[in-house]
């Protein structure tokens, strides 16, 4: 019913806007008494709105309070998931993990749009299929077939880093909103016109920087006395959806426990160890047809990944199709087992003690759109942006590892690359960003033109350190100076706030880089600002890890054959959802 209401809303906007917006049928302002949708009153518009449409693949998760963290013995002794009562707002979450086939669709689109001009962008998005290799096991069939063979198209994608997962979320946001615009008659889908930076981006469209010739209509009728006839769809119209994104750790854990099935009259009647009732990993509903079957895909015992022939316990050797096993009480599949899943949060062992009680999260880096001297949003990118500092580190490490083994041609190539990067850094020092990136592109051209044996390795340094692509809007981090009068925050990067920053370091009087000393990355720990939390167990884990409160971490640019992800979306308006009759 919720989805039907939303579809009817959007349909009515497209079909009746000309009628509604040319009259005074929008009612009158409760603040001024002036009628809406009336050009004689200035043309301020109020379109009909019922509630947020449920995006493709998503399930509504009604929020609430719960005890986040440890629910049984801490077998690892990490003490990083101490119980804490928190509240999570309502949100939407993917019914299933993102599949191989969805990722192939993503790669196909990237290749169609960027393949000719920027093939490095396509390469950056490819999963690392070599994560299946093991020195003591024969896993080559998965290396060759798991991602692309149709037999695995409905299996969860793996070998995807946290950074790649975030890029997928951005792409999915734009494609879903583009489809809504096409469906409502504001755009004509025109794949032939999509190349490099000329494709539909939600942000670019809202900022007036999508001038696609394939618009099916000029937009919504502009009722301002000095209007130009029609205007673009705006966020205030309620037609475009919020961003797809990774769930926060709190959201993921809350959704996995699905305590809505154990609550009534404002009480949670019993806690859960797993995403289902009881303390068993087998289905204990004697009245159901699945009685006695394993509830999730995990390692049952030493060497037992799938059970005995003729009666396979979880019916999967590695991963299983995403709709395998029974869903939890929110209708979410595989929130225990199959693959572990990336979440948004930066890992800190003390998160449960430090985080806010409402919508807890660690990882905020506040940014704002880049403006020009007149205060207008700058043009979207029409070039690739690289992380020069990270590429320099990559080159330095490569030289160190290959010392004495590089050919003369290879060493000359590296020397030329260093010269280009030095020149690019000089441009960056005076904020000539586009000129700097042009020189980084010239350096990449040197690599692609070279026949040195090391050239493919060096190219990887550029591919893995792309930070922005053509068609995206430009952002910058907020500054301390512009936040002098703020009380809620001061700086852009709050990852280290009260856990890793100068104030939280025992070396606060010895170093300006206290965050390097607190966790001593690479010497005594693997914790820094670029390690991300992943949740849940996988096909390769013992049962302990399928408990929703457990948590682990991995560097954001790394991947594994056991980690996948699913997307989430913010719920705007009523926390109870459209089905409850509230907005």
Band the pLDDT of 271: cuts 50, 70, 90.
confident
Q: Is residue 203 part of a domain?
A: no
Same domain, residue pair 538 and 572: yes
pLDDT in tens, 503-534: 777 666 665 555 556 787 877 788 999 999 99
Rg (CA), the chain: 26
- Note the pLDDT of residue 509: 61
Q: Is residue 265 part of a domain?
A: yes
Q: Is the pLDDT of residue 44 over 60?
A: yes
- Note the pLDDT of residue 3: 44
Residue with tokens 């101490």: 82
Same domain, residue pair 349 and 413: no
Q: Is residue 486 part of a domain?
A: no
| Domain limit, last residue, from 440, 468, 496 | 468
pLDDT > 90 in the chain, percent: 65
- Note the pLDDT of residue 501: 79
- Note the pLDDT of residue 212: 60
Same domain, residue pair 356 and 264: yes
Query: In this structure, are residues 334 and 96 in contact, taking their beta carbons and an 8 Å threshold?
Result: yes
Q: Is the pLDDT of residue 327 over 90?
A: yes
- Note the pLDDT of residue 186: 86
Query: In this structure, are residues 142 and 561 in contact, taking their beta carbons and an 8 Å threshold?
Result: yes
> For residues 118, 121, 123 and 126, what is the CA-based torsion angle, rounded to 10 degrees?
-150
pLDDT in tens, 181-199: 999 888 887 788 889 999 9
pLDDT in tens, 544-557: 999 999 999 999 99
| Domain limit, last residue, from 468, 483, 517 | 468
Same domain, residue pair 56 and 89: yes
pLDDT in tens, 568-582: 999 999 898 775 444
| Domain limit, last residue, from 468, 488, 504 | 468
Q: Is residue 507 part of a domain?
A: no
Buried/exposed code over 147-157 (b: 16+ C-beta within 10 A; e: otherwise)? beeeebebbbb
- Note the pLDDT of residue 218: 63
Same domain, residue pair 413 and 359: no
pLDDT in tens, 148-181: 999 999 999 999 999 999 999 999 999 999 999 9
Instruction: Please tell me which residue, 251 or 215, carries the higher pLDDT value.
Output: 251
d(CA 143, CA 129): 5
d(CA 234, CA 227): 15
Same domain, residue pair 152 and 108: yes
For residue 281, give the CATH number of its domain: 3.90.1580.10
d(CA 401, CA 434): 32
Q: Is residue 481 part of a domain?
A: no
Same domain, residue pair 399 and 342: no
Same domain, residue pair 273 and 397: no
- Whole-model pTM? 0.92
- Note the pLDDT of residue 579: 55
d(CA 276, CA 280): 9
- Note the pLDDT of residue 263: 83
pLDDT in tens, 409-424: 999 999 999 999 999 9
Instruction: Please tell me which residue, 204 or 13, carries the higher pLDDT value.
Output: 204
Q: Is residue 480 part of a domain?
A: no
Q: Is the pLDDT of residue 482 over 70?
A: yes
Q: Which of 208-222, 333-347, 476-490 has the highest mean pLDDT?
A: 333-347
Domain that holds residue 540: 51-184+239-365+529-583
Same domain, residue pair 163 and 102: yes
Mean pLDDT of 78-102: 95
Q: Is residue 394 part of a domain?
A: yes
pLDDT in tens, 343-384: 999 999 988 888 899 999 999 999 999 998 899 999 999 999
Same domain, residue pair 90 and 143: yes
Q: Is residue 35 part of a domain?
A: no
Band the pLDDT of 310: cuts 50, 70, 90.
confident
pLDDT in tens, 293-307: 889 999 988 999 998
For 283, 303, 314, 511, the CA distances from 310, given in Å and listed in that order, are 19, 17, 12, 63
Instruction: State the total domains in the chain.
Output: 2
Q: How far is CA 1 from the centre of its chain?
A: 28
Q: Is the pLDDT of residue 7 over 50?
A: no
Q: Is the pLDDT of residue 583 over 60?
A: no
Same domain, residue pair 139 and 285: yes
Query: In this structure, are residues 51 and 6 in contact, taking their beta carbons and an 8 Å threshold?
Result: yes
Write the DSSP assignment of 5-57 as a string of letters: HHHHHHHHHHHHHHHHTTSSTT-B-TTT-PBSS-GGGT---------PPPPTT
Same domain, residue pair 152 and 263: yes
């Amino acid at each position: 019913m919720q989805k039907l209401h939303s579809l009817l809303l959007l349909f009515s906007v497209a079909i009746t806007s000309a009628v509604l917006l040319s009259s005074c049928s929008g009612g009158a302002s409760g603040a001024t008494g002036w009628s809406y949708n009336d050009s004689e009153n200035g043309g301020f518009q109020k379109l009909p709105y019922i509630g947020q449409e449920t995006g493709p693949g998503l399930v509504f998760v009604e929020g609430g309070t719960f005890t986040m963290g440890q629910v049984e013995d801490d077998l690892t002794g990490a003490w990083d998931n101490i119980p804490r009562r928190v509240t999570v707002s309502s949100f939407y979450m993917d019914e299933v993990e993102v599949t191989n086939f969805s990722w192939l669709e993503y790669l196909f689109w990237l290749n169609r749009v960027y393949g000719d001009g920027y093939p490095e962008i396509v390469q950056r998005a490819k999963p690392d299929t070599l994560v299946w290799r093991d020195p003591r096991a024969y896993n080559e069939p998965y290396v060759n077939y798991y991602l692309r063979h149709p037999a695995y198209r409905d299996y969860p994608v793996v070998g995807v880093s946290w950074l790649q997962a975030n890029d997928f979320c951005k792409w999915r946001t734009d494609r879903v909103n583009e489809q809504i615009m096409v469906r409502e008659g504001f755009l004509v889908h025109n794949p032939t016109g999509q190349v490099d930076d000329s494709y539909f981006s939600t942000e670019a469209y809202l900022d007036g920087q999508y001038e696609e010739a394939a618009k099916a209509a000029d937009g919504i009728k502009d009722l301002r006395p000095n209007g130009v006839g029609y205007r673009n769809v705006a966020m205030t119209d309620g037609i475009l959806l919020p961003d797809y994104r990774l769930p926060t750790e709190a959201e993921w854990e809350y959704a996995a426990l699905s305590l809505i099935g154990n609550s009534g009259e404002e009480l949670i009647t019993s806690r859960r160890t797993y995403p289902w009732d009881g303390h068993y990993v087998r289905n204990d509903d004697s009245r159901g047809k699945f009685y006695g079957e394993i509830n999730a895909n995990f390692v049952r015992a030493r060497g037992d990944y799938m059970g005995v022939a003729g009666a396979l316990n979880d019916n999967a050797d590695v991963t299983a199709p995403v709709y395998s096993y029974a869903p939890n009480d929110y209708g979410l599949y595989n929130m225990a087992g199959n693959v572990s899943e990336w979440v948004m949060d930066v890992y800190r062992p003390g998160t449960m003690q430090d985080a806010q009680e409402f919508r807890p999260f660690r990882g905020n880096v506040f940014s704002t759109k880049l403006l020009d001297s007149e205060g207008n949003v700058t043009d979207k990118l029409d070039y690739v942006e690289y992380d020069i500092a990270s590429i320099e580190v990559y080159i330095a490490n490569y030289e160190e590892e290959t010392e004495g083994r590089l050919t003369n041609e290879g060493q000359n190539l590296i020397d030329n690359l260093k010269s280009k990067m030095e020149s690019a850094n000089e441009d960056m020092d005076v904020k000539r960003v586009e000129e700097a990136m042009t020189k980084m592109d010239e350096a990449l051209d040197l690599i692609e033109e070279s026949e040195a044996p090391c050239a493919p390795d060096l190219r990887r340094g550029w591919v893995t350190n792309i930070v922005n692509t053509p068609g995206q809007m430009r952002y910058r981090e907020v500054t301390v100076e512009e936040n002098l009068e703020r009380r809620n925050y001061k700086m852009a990067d709050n990852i280290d706030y009260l856990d890793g920053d100068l104030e939280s370091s025992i070396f606060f009087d010895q170093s300006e880089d206290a965050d390097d000393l607190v966790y001593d990355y690479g010497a005594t720990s693997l914790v820094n600002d670029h390690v991300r939390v992943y949740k849940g167990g996988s096909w390769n884990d013992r049962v302990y890890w399928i408990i929703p409160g457990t948590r682990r971490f991995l560097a954001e640019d790394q991947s594994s054959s056991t980690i996948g992800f699913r997307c989430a979306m913010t719920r705007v308006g009523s926390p109870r959802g459209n089905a409850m009759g509230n907005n």
